[in-house]
Amino acid sequence: MSLVVMKFGGTSVEDPAAINRTAAIVAGRVAMGNLPVVVVSALAKVTDQLLRAASCAAKGDRTGALAISSRLRSRHRDTACALIKNPAESAALVTLIDQKFDSLDEILRGLAAILELTPRISDLVVSYGERISSRIVAATFCERGIAAAHVDARDVIVTDSQFQKAVPQDSIIEKRAAEMLRPLIEHGKVPVMGGFIASNEAGITTTLGRGGSDFTGALVGGALSASAIEIWTDVDGIMTCDPRVCPEALRVKVISFEEAAELAYFGAKVLHPATILPAVKKNIPVLVLNSRNPTNDGTRIISLAPHCKSPFKSIAVKKKLSIIDVVASRMLMTHGYLSEIFAIFDKHQCPVDMVSTSEVSVSLTVDSNDKLPAIAADLSQLADVKYEGKKALVCMVGEDIRGQSGIAAQVFAAIRHINVRMISQGASEINMSFMIEEEDAEEAVRSLHAAFFQNPDPAIFDVEAQKGQLLAPSS
């Protein structure tokens, strides 16, 4: 019997109808003889609202913060009542939800009194989203006849203490999964836990960073050596670009770990960038599936993808980036200059996405705009510094860029009407990236999609769905 980790994102648990669909998908798996471990996100948009409540409170807007919390309380209570029909179970769940919101309100009042929001308290506040959603989902599963057992993810996923982007401690997670999840599975239970939330070794709540529930799913899958890690979301899989930007986007049927990691890192929100790591370590396939269309095959992410006739598999976009230009004649024939520049980014713990150098200048792109003034101040000790925000990085990914000539010419011909600020190709051999103004991003993606996905390879892309779209009467 195969153990499968099934992670359901915010839209897959957003309301009673979505939670019922999720329960039906899991029940179907149990009926097939699979052994699921379920990881759920907070209900859609709840994490954003919790962060907003925390920041209102820390600015002294106690009433505003408590109003957000009160709306969230009603939404969770209503969802629970709509799902759980057994009066005793329903009352117990509502009491539990009330207790959680009472303690959240205490924290918000405290924040409004001390007027300071630390990363540690921010993690504690957002943790309520997954702590409560996982309870509602577990109770629903039980009522639908699935032998669910709620597990507090913070007891299993142990991290360091870098709040808001904590780093998992693999060996401890493996041990905890063996102690806490394995016995449940062996007793025929379906463990249900929240994604994204974790704790440090002292038991203090941490989180894995935004979108981190995918990562939880992968960590659990890795720790239990699962036969598959399934990421259930609101689209048919990894598409040739964000379908919200370009409705002609096609499902990619199969993609390599390396390609998927590159896409996730460069902004394809469908997958958290760290999801691939635990899967690669144990060579566990990752599937991206649609909880609104569960019979669709989704995308299969595996170590070696089959050859594709077209150079690219997908286009990702990362927005809200800045370009920093560091200009100094000193660079000419000096060594150690670049390391001084990078040391400054390191000091500010600021990751750099792209780098381009000339004899007298270095251009770098970063996405943490709040740190920029301090970084620029330090860099100005070395050279002249300019920085500009509102940039977007477009990243075209595909194993088959390797060895094909004339690709760059085709890419830049397709976006000849758009001003390109920086270009990078070669670092990974499977990605070609360039920097443009944020306002041009959608247009660039649509033009590139039209140019490169005209004749998609049916072995790799779901061309049947495209034909269906073309045949469907327009509404």
Name the DSSP class of 251.
B
Least distance (Å) from ligand ASP to the CB of residue 79? 16
Least distance (Å) from ligand ADP to the CB of residue 239? 4
Amino acid occupying residue 121: I
**Of the two residues 134 and 466, which places its CB atom closer to Mg ion in the complex?**
134
Least distance (Å) from Mg ion to the CB of residue 211? 4
Distance of CA 206 to the CA centre of its chain: 16
Asked whether the beta carbons of 32 and 257 are under 8 A apart, the reply is no
**Of the two residues 108 and 393, which places its CB atom closer to ligand ADP in the complex?**
393
Q: Is 129 in the site for Mg ion (CB under 5 A)?
A: no
Choices 143-151, 212-220, 286-294, 394-402; region in contact with ligand ASP by CB under 6 A:
212-220
Binding site for ligand ADP (CB under 6 A): 9-12, 41, 211, 233-235, 238-239, 241-244, 268-270, 314
CA 427 to CA 79: how far, in whole Å?
A: 47
Q: How many CB atoms lie under 10 A from the CB of residue 245?
A: 17
Asked whether the beta carbons of 47 and 129 are under 8 A apart, the reply is yes
**Of the two residues 90 and 290, which places its CB atom closer to ligand ADP in the complex?**
290
Distance of CA 87 to the CA centre of its chain: 37
CA 454 to CA 470: how far, in whole Å?
A: 13
Q: Which residue has its beta carbon closest to Mg ion?
A: 211
Q: At what angle do helices 407-414 and 441-452 cross, to 10 degrees?
A: 130
Least distance (Å) from Mg ion to the CB of residue 390? 24
Q: Is 275 in the site for ligand ASP (CB under 6 A)?
A: no
CA 317 to CA 440: how far, in whole Å?
A: 11
195 binds, among Mg ion, ligand ASP, ligand ADP, none (CB under 5 to 8 A by kind): ligand ASP
Q: Is 211 in the site for ligand ASP (CB under 6 A)?
A: yes
What track of x and - describes contact with ligand ASP for positions 100 through 139 (by CB under 6 A)? -----------------------------x----------
**Of the two residues 64 and 243, which places its CB atom closer to ligand ADP in the complex?**
243
CA 311 to CA 465: how far, in whole Å?
A: 21
Asked whether the beta carbons of 100 and 62 are under 8 A apart, the reply is no
Structure tokens at 192: 């249900």
210 binds, among ligand ASP, ligand ADP, Mg ion, none (CB under 5 to 8 A by kind): ligand ASP
Q: Which residue has its beta carbon closest to ligand ADP?
A: 9
Backbone φ and ψ for 418, nearest 5 degrees, come out as -115, 140
Burial class (CB in 10 A: 0-12, 13-18, 19+), 352: middle
123 binds, among ligand ASP, Mg ion, ligand ADP, none (CB under 5 to 8 A by kind): none
Beta strands in 328-471 (DSSP E): 352-357, 361-366, 384-397, 420-425, 431-437
Candidate residues 141, 163, 196, 452; the one interacting with ligand ASP per rule CB under 6 A: 196
Structure tokens at 199: 């704790």
Structure tokens at 256: 């390599």
Q: Is 217 in the site for ligand ASP (CB under 6 A)?
A: no
Which SS3 state, helix, strand or coil, does residue 238 take?
A: coil
Candidate residues 3, 35, 39, 42; the one interacting with ligand ASP per rule CB under 6 A: 42
Q: Is 41 in the site for ligand ASP (CB under 6 A)?
A: yes
Choices 114-122, 206-214, 298-306, 338-346; region in contact with ligand ASP by CB under 6 A:
206-214
**Of the two residues 108 and 270, which places its CB atom closer to ligand ADP in the complex?**
270
Structure tokens at 431: 């990605």
**Of the two residues 120 and 421, which places its CB atom closer to ligand ASP in the complex?**
120
Q: Is 211 in the site for Mg ion (CB under 5 A)?
A: yes
Amino acid occupying residue 4: V
**Of the two residues 211 and 221, which places its CB atom closer to ligand ADP in the complex?**
211
Candidate residues 22, 47, 205, 431; the one interacting with ligand ASP per rule CB under 6 A: 47
Please give the helix or strand (H or E) that residue 412 lies within, else none: helix 407-414
Q: Is 194 in the site for Mg ion (CB under 5 A)?
A: no
Integer angstrom CA distances of residue 35 from 31, 111, 173, 328, 362: 10, 42, 19, 60, 52
Counting residues that bind ligand ASP (by CB under 6 A) gives: 13
Least distance (Å) from ligand ADP to the CB of residue 271? 8
Integer angstrom CA distances of residue 118 from 85, 114, 149, 366: 40, 11, 33, 23
259 binds, among ligand ADP, Mg ion, ligand ASP, none (CB under 5 to 8 A by kind): none
**Of the two residues 195 and 311, which places its CB atom closer to Mg ion in the complex?**
195
- Give 355-388 as a DSSP string: EEE-SSEEEEEES-GGGHHHHHHHHTTTSEEEEE
Candidate residues 11, 134, 199, 213; the one interacting with ligand ASP per rule CB under 6 A: 213
Positions in the binding site for ligand ASP (CB under 6 A): 9-10, 41-42, 47, 129, 195-196, 210-214
Positions in the binding site for Mg ion (CB under 5 A): 9, 211
